[in-house]
Amino acid sequence: MKSILVTGGAGFIGSNFVRYMLNKYKDYRIIVLDALTYAGNRENLADLEGDPSYFFYEGDIRDELVVDNLMSNVDAVVNFAAETHVDRSIHEAGMFIETDIKGAFVLLEAAKKYGVKRFLHISTDEVYGSIEDGSFKEGDLLEPNSPYSASKAGGDLLVRSYLKTFGVPVLITRSSNNYGPYQYPEKLIPLFITNAIDNQQLPLYGDGKNVRDWIYVDDNCSGIDAVLHKGETGKIYNIGAGNERENIFITHTILEYLHKPKSLIKPVKDRPGHDRRYSIDTNEIRALGWKPKHNLEDGLKMTIDWYVKNENWWRKIKEKQAEYQRFYEAQYKDR
Ligand code: NAD
Ligand code: TYD
């Protein structure tokens, strides 16, 4: 495997993955296709500019011509491209269906046409829905509860059908919540770190006791690498590090590390359809010899340190996001 098309490679996990792969495999060629939506950012890959093994194309995975052109010349595809934020999906679900389902369809069609050797689709543990006790296994029922997770589940089912019907050699990973450098500051951890740095309030939904299983982004990247090279065609692999914590615990840890007061926490109305707990069984990926390297305590410290050192990166983004928020709230008021 020498040439890999990475879609959504300018986003959070995609950019970390591209960096991870280029560091590890000196003879690989990585071609990034990214539409640079609000969440995509070429600065996430700025240190790779000029590397002869890295190519960047700005384009949409729903664009058949662009996808056809790029797919004709690669051995494998890793599809990260998606709309990814649950809260946005609650307000405007349309683009989630467009990118997470239609986009997957366009990629699968081209993979079928060119006989791509590996089609690795990046999905999420959110497709299983919420679980009170125990952990979801890969074969469990899909019961997504948000337009985001429902769109991702739709993509997963389409991927499965291209294996069964056309023999496209697909694989799927479903990871738990990632955190680390370059995560867009609308998700819990980067939002709370950057708000706390600025002494802004931290809007904690509901009772703050919802549980997420946190994985440091590099550990997800090594898991994706393991599945890409050693995974069994047609299989699904959960990727999680076994760090289940309530949101309030994550919030307190961030505030303590930054020496900020708990009074910054602002309990707010709960998210509609808010999944209570995510938990996944990871025996399948561990059987490939994979295990996470980072514990939550160290991973969180590294992440907070990164945001403290990289204010330039997130301040520009937060300013744009504030504009979006103001525009959005103004529209809402008129309804
Ligand atoms: P992100 O929102 O940071 O990045 C998404 C990227 O996809 C952006 O660069 C964006 O520009 C690009 N993109 C969006 N629509 C596109 C389109 N139509 N054509 C081409 N590019 C497009 O997302 P992320 O957090 O890096 O997540 C990457 C993948 O991992 C997603 O598929 C997501 O569902 C999955 N995932 C994320 C997490 C998490 O905690 N972040 C957990 C499990 C799974
Ligand atoms: P998020 O980072 O949006 O990821 P997901 O919903 O996909 O798991 O949210 C993680 C958890 O944090 C989730 O339980 C919702 C909660 N949350 C807040 O309490 N406040 C916030 O401002 C955000 C963005 C999330």
- Check pLDDT > 60 for residue 290: yes
Active-site residue, from 20, 128, 148, 162: 148
What distance in Å separates the CA atoms of residue 225 and residue 120, rounded to the nearest whole number?
10
pLDDT value at 1 more than 70:
no
Q: Which residues line ligand 1 (CB under 6 A)?
A: 7-8, 10-14, 34-37, 39-40, 60-62, 80-82, 84, 99, 103, 122, 124, 152, 175, 177-178, 184
Percent of the chain with pLDDT over 90: 95
| Residue 86 CB–ligand 2 contact under 6 Å | yes
Average pLDDT over residues 111-138: 98
Q: How far apart are CA 149 and CA 179, in angstroms?
A: 18
Model confidence pLDDT, tens digit, residues 93-119: 999 999 999 999 999 999 999 999 999
- Measured CA to CA in angstroms, residue 36 lies from 12, 42, 219 at distances of 12, 8, 25
Q: Answer whether residue 335 shows pLDDT above 80.
A: no
Write out the E strands in the chain. Answer: 3-7, 29-34, 54-58, 76-79, 118-124, 170-175, 177-179, 202-205, 211-216, 236-239, 244-246, 265-268
Q: Map tokens 């938990």 to a residue.
A: 279
Q: What confidence tier does 321 reach under pLDDT thresholds 50, 70, 90?
A: confident
DSSP annotation of 141: P
pTM value is 0.97
Which of 125, 205, 249 is the pocket-test mutation for ligand 2 (most atoms within 8 Å of CB)?
A: 205
Q: Name the nearest CA neighbour of 280 among 120, 128, 143.
A: 128
Q: Rounded mean pLDDT of the chain?
A: 96
The residue whose CB lies within 8 Å of the most ligand 1 atoms, and thus the one to mutate among 7, 13, 78, 156, is 13
User: pLDDT tens digits, residue range 54-85?
Assistant: 999 999 999 999 999 999 999 999 999 999 99
Return d(Cα 248, Cα 265) in angstroms, integer. 9
Nearest ligand for residue 18 CA: 1
Give the pLDDT band of residue 222 (cuts 50, 70, 90): very high
Contact 75, 50 (CB under 8 A): no
User: Does pLDDT of 333 surpass 70?
Assistant: no
Domains of the chain are 3-179+216-242+275-294 (3.40.50.720)
